[in-house]
Structure 1
C-alpha cells in the first residue's frame, strides 16, 4: 500500500508518503539521509540525500518515521 497526503499548516504545507513495506531498521533510520548509504544491493544511496538538500534549500524539512503497524512514513514541509 502507498498513501499520499497533504495538509496546510500555519506557515506552509506538509506532504506525507506512507507505505506498508518492511519499514526502517534502527541503523537505517539513523543513516537514511546520509549520502551513499543504501539498503538495496544495487542502490547508490543518493536519492534521499539529494531530496533533503533540495527541500532544505527551499526552507523546508524532510524526515522519516515508522508507519504502524508496518512500513515507513516520509514527510516534508515547505513554506508558503
Structure 2
C-alpha cells in the first residue's frame, strides 16, 4: 500500500506496521563500522522462517506494557484493505 495513503488514515509507523519507517534516514544508515568490528547478519529469509516456526510452536512475545499497541487488529486491517480495494483511484 502507498505510505502516504496509510499515514493519511492514521496508521502508526513501526508500531502498527512493523519495519515501516518513512524517515529518509531510517534505512540509509551505514553499517560499515559495525561490520568492520565483526557484525555478521544472517539472511532475512532465515530469520523470518525461524520466527514463523517459533510463533507456530505456541511461543509468545516478551510481556510488555505496550504489547497491545503493536500490530493492526483484524478489524482495522480488514477495514484498511477494504478501503484500499474500493478506492476511486487504483
TM above 0.5: no
Higher helix share: 2
Say which one has the larger Rg: 2
Higher strand share: 1
